[in-house]
């Protein structure tokens, strides 16, 4: 038997109501903050991600699903959305049409990571990108949207972590200091960090290994090297979060796994999802548009992992949605009434009721069982003596009451059920 690929997951009808709920909530929030949806292709040229996310990042160096298509082009399934959104922003000159573009998305992403709870190879993100302003209030808007969506879902054990990575110039000075500090301790670092010392030194900061963390205790702090404008913006972010009652922790080691960040970065962590605790991550990327060939345009955004959010909801026992209900199940008392049943069902469905009936030639008893299984609010009996008199019987399954109604006045059914 052919099975689904490791790290991919079917979302079955029994789970779909949670997905719909989350998607609707996300759309409602983004609409409130005046973000418009953007949809970009599932695959892009590999070079876009290599340049946008950074050659030395784990995503680009280890996790991308890339292939050469029949035309000889290297293409990659999108591992994240920011690079694709920026590509579309440049390609369609969105910056010339609006000085500030506030965009959102909900989409599958692909990364060849080692699968575990909350970490998949095809997963879903919702996220937002705002292109055109350096205002730290937009950084806060991103954090606020994500935080309030999580709160609205009922999640409680949340930690907002924020940091500032400064400008590339200030970061460069810091990187040199950090390199100097680590060089003579190189042999005590983990193999992975030793490689990063050469290739992507900042990532050593978020190593989880105790052996690295011990060395880092006395390492220079990025904050001591930040330029004034980064410090001012970070101050504004902190003050605004406080005034909006969003609790946060400053986490100087929060460097994130993508190279495009400048100034503010953030993550929101749930303490209830185990190892993969980051529900969302984001930050500012004021140089990315230019790096990808557009006119210099600042940007900020975030993305949240939907599987992880739903896992956190499950673990915190929130998001207990009402069971799905059918409005009317039509029970056919006489076999020859199939045409009439189809006609009545069609009329009711066209009047926006959720209606179903038996397609398996079941007995009346079995049809009733099906009505109960479907959690139907009403049963409409069609057939028998009532039908001969031009009537149908509408039974309310919640309280057991029933009423005889005229078959040629089906609108009466609608008003009773709605
Ligand atoms: P990221 O931190 O790579 O950032 O991913 C954002 C979120 O996607 C994570 O916090 C996590 O919830 C979820 N996620 C990532 N990888 C997986 C996986 N393998 N399985 C399940 N969930 C996963 C970005 O993607 C940036 N584009 C965010 C951003 C937008 N920054 C600025 N704008």
> What separation in Å is there between the alpha carbon of 294 and the centre of ligand 1?
24
**Does residue 274 surpass a pLDDT of 80?**
no
13-167+227-315: CATH superfamily: Bira Bifunctional Protein; Domain 2 (3.30.930.10)
What SS3 state is found at 300?
strand
For residue 174 and ligand 1, the question of a CB distance below 6 A is answered with: no
> For residue 94, is pLDDT > 80?
yes
pLDDT in tens, 137-179: 999 999 999 999 999 999 998 999 999 999 989 999 999 999 9
> Ligand 1, atom 4: nearest CA belongs to which residue?
281
119 in ligand 1 pocket by Cβ < 6 Å? yes
User: Residues in the chain, how many?
Assistant: 418
Nearest atom in ligand 1 to 301's CA? 33
Three-state DSSP class for 217? coil
CA of 405 to the centre of ligand 1 (A): 56
236 phi and psi angles, rounded to 5 deg: -65, -40
DSSP conformational letter for 220:
P
Residue 235: per-residue pLDDT: 98
SS (H, E, C) 268-288: EEECCCCCCCEEEEEEECCCH
**Gap from CA of 126 to ligand 1 centroid (Å):** 9
Strand order in the sheet with 262-270: 36-37, 101-110, 122-131, 299-305, 278-284, 262-270, 158-164, 249-250
Pocket test for ligand 1, best of 264, 305, 310, 311 (most atoms within 8 A of CB): 305
What letters, b where the CB count within 10 A reaches 16 and e where it falls short, cover 25-56? bbeebbeeeebeebebeebbebebbbbbbbee
Q: Which residues have CB under 8 Å from 365's CB, separation 6+?
A: none
What mean pLDDT is predicted for residues 244-268?
A: 95
Span from the CA of 109 to the centroid of ligand 1 (angstroms): 9
Cα 348 to middle of ligand 1, angstroms: 44
Three-state secondary structure call for residue 393: strand
- For residue 275, what pLDDT is reported? 78
Measured from the CB, is residue 79 less than 6 Å from ligand 1? no
- Mean confidence (pLDDT) of the chain: 96
Q: In angstroms, rounded to a whole number, what is the distance separating the alpha carbons of residues 332 and 362?
A: 9
- The rounded Å distance from CA 282 to ligand 1 centre is 8
Q: Are strands 378-382 and 402-406 parallel, antiparallel or unpaired?
A: unpaired
Q: Which residue in the block uniquely carries the two structure tokens 């020859």?
A: 336
Query: Nearest C-alpha to atom 1 of ligand 1 is from which residue?
Result: 281
Q: Is the CB of 123 under 6 A from ligand 1?
A: yes
Beta-strand relationship, 402-406 and 391-396: antiparallel
* CA atoms of 264 and 137, how far apart (whole Å): 11
At 327-382, the pLDDT tens digits run: 999 999 999 999 999 999 999 999 999 999 999 999 999 999 999 999 999 999 99
**Is 305 close to ligand 1, i.e. is its CB under 6 Å away?**
yes
Local confidence band at 245 (pLDDT 50, 70, 90 cut-offs): very high
Convert the pLDDT of each residue in 110-122 to its tens digit: 999 999 999 999 9
Specify the range with the lowest mean pLDDT, choosing from 65-74, 249-258, 355-364, 381-390: 249-258
Backbone angles phi, psi at 24, to 5 degrees: -65, -40
Q: How far is the CA of 119 from the centre of ligand 1 (A)?
A: 10
307 lines ligand 1 (CB under 6 A): yes
Q: What are the domain boundaries of the chain?
A: 13-167+227-315, 171-223, 328-417
Q: How far is the C-alpha of 95 from the C-alpha of 132, rounded, in Å?
A: 7
Phi first, then psi, for residue 283 (nearest 5°) are: 160, -175
pLDDT in tens, 43-66: 999 999 999 999 989 999 999 999
- CA dist 410 → 331, 344, 354, 396 (Å): 16, 8, 15, 16
For the stretch 283-325, pLDDT in tens is 999 999 999 999 999 999 999 999 999 999 999 999 999 999 9
pLDDT score of 272: 79
Q: Point out the ligand 1 atom lying closest to the alpha carbon of residue 120.
A: 20
Answer yes or no: are the C-beta atoms of 337 and 383 closer than 8 Å. yes
Residue closest to 112 by CA, chosen among 151, 65, 74, 174: 65
Assigned fold of 328-417: Rossmann fold (3.40.50)
């Amino acid at each position: 038997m052919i099975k689904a690929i490791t790290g991919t997951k079917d979302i079955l009808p029994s789970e779909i109501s949670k997905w719909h709920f989350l998607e609707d909530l996300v759309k409602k929030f983004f609409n409130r903050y005046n973000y418009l949806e953007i949809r970009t292709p599932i695959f892009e040229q590999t070079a876009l991600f290599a340049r946008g996310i950074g050659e030395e990042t784990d995503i680009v160096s280890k996790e991308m699903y890339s292939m050469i298509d029949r035309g000889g082009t290297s293409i990659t399934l999108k591992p994240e959305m920011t690079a694709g959104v920026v590509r579309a922003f440049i390609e369609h000159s969105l910056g010339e049409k609006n000085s500030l573009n506030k965009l959102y998305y909900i989409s599958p992403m692909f990364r060849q990571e080692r699968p575990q709870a909350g970490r998949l190879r095809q997963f879903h993100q919702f996220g937002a990108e705002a292109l055109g302003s350096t205002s730290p209030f937009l950084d806060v808007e991103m954090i606020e949207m994500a935080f309030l969506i999580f709160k609205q879902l009922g999640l409680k054990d949340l930690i907002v972590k924020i940091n500032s990575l400064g400008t590339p110039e200030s970061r460069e000075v810091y990187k040199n200091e950090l390199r100097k500090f680590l060089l003579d301790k190189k042999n005590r670092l983990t193999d992975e960090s030793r490689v990063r010392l050469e290739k992507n030194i900042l990532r050593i900061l978020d190593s989880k290994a105790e052996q690295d963390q011990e060395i880092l205790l006395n390492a220079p702090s990025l904050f001591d090297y930040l330029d004034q404008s980064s410090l001012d913006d970070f101050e504004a972010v902190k003050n605004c979060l406080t005034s909006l009652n969003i609790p946060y922790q400053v986490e100087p080691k929060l460097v994130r796994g993508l190279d495009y960040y400048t100034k503010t970065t953030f993550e929101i962590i749930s303490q209830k999802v185990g190892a993969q605790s980051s529900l969302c991550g984001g930050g500012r990327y004021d140089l990315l548009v230019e790096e990808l060939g557009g006119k210099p345009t600042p940007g900020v955004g975030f993305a949240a992992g939907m599987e992880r959010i739903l896992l956190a909801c499950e673990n915190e026992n929130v998001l207990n949605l009402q069971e799905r209900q059918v409005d009317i199940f039509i029970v056919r008392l006489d076999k020859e009434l199939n045409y009439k049943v189809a006609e009545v069902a069609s009329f009711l469905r066209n009047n926006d009721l959720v209606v179903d009936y038996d397609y398996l030639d079941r007995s009346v008893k079995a049809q009733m069982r099906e009505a109960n299984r479907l959690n139907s609010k009403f049963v409409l009996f069609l057939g028998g003596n009532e039908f001969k008199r031009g009537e149908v019987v509408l039974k309310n399954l919640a309280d057991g009451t029933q009423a005889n109604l005229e078959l040629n006045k089906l609108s009466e059914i609608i008003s009773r059920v709605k």
